[in-house]
Every structure is written in C-alpha cells, then in structure tokens.
Amino acid sequence: MSQNNGTQRSRGRSLRDAKLEAKSVNLSNASIEEASSDKHSNKYLIGGIAAGVLLLVLLSLWQPSVQLEPTVVQESTASRPAEPTKVELNAAPTTSFEAAEQARLRRSAQDKLASLLLIQEELAEVNVDKWANTRLNELVQKAESGDRAYRDGDYEVADAEYGESLTIAESLKQQSPQVLEEALESGRSALGRMDGDGAKEAFARALWVDSENSEALTGLQRAEVQDELAQWMLKVQKLQVAGDLDQALAASKDLALIDPLSAPVQQLRVQLEQAILERDYTAAMSSGYRYLDSAELAAARSAFSRAAKLRPNLAEVAVALQSVSNAEISQRVGLLSGRARQAEAEEDWQQAVEAYSQVLALESGSIDGLIGQARAQARLTLDRKLVAYRSDFDSLLDPAVREQAHTTLAEARELPSAGPRLLEQIASISSELGKLVGEVNVQLVSDGETDVRILRQSRLGMFQQEELVLSPGKYVAVGSRSGFRDVRLEFVVRSGELIEPLKIACTEAI
C-alpha cells in the first residue's frame, strides 16, 4: 500500500509537472509575442495560453488524492556516516490544515494566472509592447518566476509572483487611455507647430493603442501636408510684414484649403483680420477728424460712423460722434443766427423771432439767442401795432386809440437804428395823426322839418343850413321827423381835408 501511495504521488507529481511545463511554455511564448509588433500573432498566442490554463485547471481537478506525507530521502550508510533524515523543501504537507492551505494557494495562483492571461489579451490589443516594453518584460519575468515556483510546488511564491504580474498588467491596462491621450496631445502640439514628422510619430503611437481612433487617423492625414503648409505660411507672413494685409488675408484663405483644421492658419487669419480692422478703424478715425477740422461735418459723421461699425461701443468713437453733433449744432446755430440777423436787417421780425427760437431750441443757453429773441420779439410787437394803425386809419379817430398811437410812435422814434420800413410806418402814421388836430368847419344842409342832432355832441334842431366847427374825428348825425323813417349820417372830419356840405333830412314816409 505504501508502494502504491508512492507510485500515486509520483504519478501526481508527473502530471502536475507536465501541466506547469505546458503552462510555462505558453507564458514564455506570450512574452516573446508581446515584444513583437504583430497584434494578430499576439491574439493567437493568448488563445494558446488560455487553452493551457484550461488544461491546467482540468488536470488539477482530475489529479487523485495523495497522502500528505513529507518525502524522506534515504541515504546509503555503507559509504558514509549516518546523517539525520532530511525533509525536501517541497515535501507534501503532513497535516490536513497544511494540505488545505496548499490547495487554497494553488487555486489562488491558478485564478490569478487566468486573470493575467485575460488582461494580457487586452494588452495585446493596445500593443503594450510598443509603449511599455520594460514594464511588460517585468510582467513576464514575474509570471515566469511564478511558473517555476508552481512547477516546484511552492504555491505561496507562485501566488505572490502571479499577483505581482497581475498588478503590473492591471496598471498597464489602466494606463492605456492616458497613453492614448498623451499621444493625441503630442500630435496636436506637433500640428500646432506644423511639425509633420512629429505629428506622424505621435499619431502613430496613438494608433498603437486605438487603431480606429478618428482623431489619430485624421491627424496622420494632416501631418502629410504640414511641410507644404509651413512654406505657404511663410509667404503669407512676408506679405503681412510688407503691409499687404488684404493680399495676405486672401492667401490665408487658400491655406485653409490645404489644412482646414490648422490652428496656426486660423490664428494667422484672425491676426490679419484684426490688423485690417485696426488699419481701417484708424483710417476712418483720422479721416473723421480731418473733416471735422475743416467743418465738413457730413463727411466727418460718415467717417466716424464707419469706425463705429468696425469697433462698436468704443468710447473714443462715441466722443468723436458727439464732437460732430456739437459741431453740427454750432454750425446750425450759426446759420440760424445769421438768418435771424438777416431777417432783422430786412425788418422781417416774424422770421427773426422764429430763427432765434430755433437757435434756443438747439442751444438753450445761447446768449445771442436769448438777446436776439427778446429784441426781435419787441420789434415784432411794435411792428404789428404800426401795421394795425396803418391798415385802419379810421381807428385813430377814437381818442383813446389815437393816444395809444402817439405812445407807439414815441417808442418807435426812440429806436437807435430804424430801418426803411419803420421810418415809413412812423411817417405814415404821424401824417395821419397830424390830420386829427385843430378844428374844421363843417356845413350841414336839411329840409327845415327834420330834427337833427350830433351824437355825443349837441342837438341842432330843424334847419335849412347849419355850419359847425368840429375837431377832427368821427361823427354821427341823426335826423328824426314824425311820420317818417329816421335817418343816420356818419362822417369823418380831418384837418386839411375839404368837406362838401352834408345833407341830412327824413324823406321816407312810414
């Protein structure tokens, strides 16, 4: 029975060693394949490793139970002195607890190896050998160390070595997105410098990690034209330095056809557009101030308005436009003041008042406007009175009106600078008033039967002929007779005028 157990243990160790050797060969092959650039070969290798692991698990499950006894090495006593019995380092455990612990460590090692092989497949997908070969070699070394320990039955060491290898693999797996992003960022930076070779290298690294990455694929295409783009950029920049900004801007648009996504091209175009904007803005502002200085206000406003469109909401443009507005007001005030003075010279007082009112509407604090309006308004009032007297001389027959006329004439005569119109008005009204002084003989004729009276004067009674001495003025004579309709006679008496005899008699019977 002891011999059978020994045979059984020997068979168990042989099967186990065979499994580990198969696994070790597969893992070693994985290390070689991971260092190569052929991703498809890596996939085939990982498949083989996975199959090896499956075989390992099946065999470990099939392996018959062995006695947990230490292996004792028998030494011949014939050739040398007897020595103490030695126990092999990897001898079978002597207790159930040790056997269970060994089984647990073996399963743990197998689980970690299985996980490691799965992650290795993912690492092969991202070509880890191209961007982390040193760490990959460290991973393989740890795995091979685990292989040896497993083969020797030292499951604790195997479990630890596989664990460290798995940790490295997981770290590399987590690192791959960062490697991809760093490669993409390096490619972007190279494109920003128009470094075609640098961009190619960076985007190629990105494609190691993600062979279908759209940015990397596009970046490789853009990298091919960077040298040509740099040459054209130099030509455009020379135009810019020479001050030919419009030609440079047109050329920059052609650059966009070479690489529409180029940041340097876009930046150059923005610079050119800004330079042209600044040039046009400065020219518009300079023109505006030249026109303002020469009082060409419409042209100045147009120039400043162009500047405002180029650079909206800029304080200095608002100040310039306000200067134009102020100048326009001053110019308008000047024109209106001139018009008012011209109206005064022509004694068109209504027009003068309107012009001064417009001046004050534009510039309420204008001293000339205030004084001019007061002067023109006074003359307009005087003129209207004089016009009224001249248009109705009969109104002067009223003593009260006549008195007002004398006052008005005195006011008119006191004016320091009387124009032709005023002089004519004064002369005309003075002449008319002159006719209303002294006494005039007036002869009345009647039929001797009509009772005659002068309203507000006296009653003459009935007469055939009567001569009266009257002051200039307007009179009304009324005649009455029994059985006849009353009669009314209005007449005006003026000095120096010959008055025909006035007849008044009631002749219409009722």
pLDDT at 434: 86
What pLDDT does residue 481 have?
96
Closest residue by Cα to residue 472 from 389, 405, 396:
396
Hey, is 445 helix, strand or coil?
strand
- Please name every residue paired with 414 in a beta bridge, in sequence order, or none if there are none: none
Q: Which residues contact 143 (CB under 8 A, 6 or more apart)?
A: 27, 30, 31, 113, 116, 161, 162, 165
Question: Per-residue DSSP letters for 106-161?
Answer: HHHHHHHHHHHHHHHHHHHHTTHHHH-HHHHHHHHHHHHHHHHHHHTT-HHHHHHH
Say if residues 18 and 76 touch (Cβ distance below 8 Å).
no
- AA identity, residue 365: G
Q: Tell me the whole-structure pTM to 2 decimals.
A: 0.53
How far is 22 from 18, CA to CA, in rounded Å? 6
How far apart CA 413 and CA 406 sit, in angstroms, is 11
Write down how long the chain is. Answer: 510
CB count, 10 Å around CB of 179? Answer: 21
**Tokens (6 digits) for 209:** 């990690």
pLDDT digits (tens, 9 = 90+) for 322-375: 999 999 999 999 999 999 999 999 999 999 999 999 999 999 999 999 999 999
Order of strands across the sheet with 473-480? 458-461, 451-454, 473-480, 487-493
What number of CA atoms fall less than 13 Å from residue 121's CA on the CB side? 14
Distances (CA, A) of 352 to 173, 345, 372, 378, 421: 96, 9, 8, 11, 15
Note the pLDDT tens digit of each residue in 386-413.
999 999 988 888 889 999 999 999 999 9
Separation of CA 476 from chain center = 88
How many angstroms separate the Cα of 496 from the Cα of each of 333, 393, 435? 52, 16, 7
CA 105 to chain centre: 69
The answer to whether the Cα torsion of 21, 23, 27, 32 is positive or negative is positive
What is the enclosing helix (H) or strand (E) of 475? strand 473-480
| H or E element at residue 16 | helix 2-34
Tokens of 128: 């880890």
| Spatial CB neighbours of 255, under 8 Å, sequence gap ≥ 6 | 229, 232, 233, 236, 262, 265, 268, 269
Running along the chain, 510 residues long, what does each successive block of 10 average in pLDDT? 35 29 33 35 38 39 31 31 35 72 91 91 91 92 94 93 94 92 96 94 95 95 93 92 92 89 92 95 97 96 97 95 95 94 96 96 93 96 95 87 94 91 95 86 94 92 93 92 95 84 94
Nearest C-alpha neighbor of 224 from the set 197, 263, 190, 264: 197
* Chain centre to alpha carbon of residue 138: 57
Q: Residue 194: what residue type? A: M
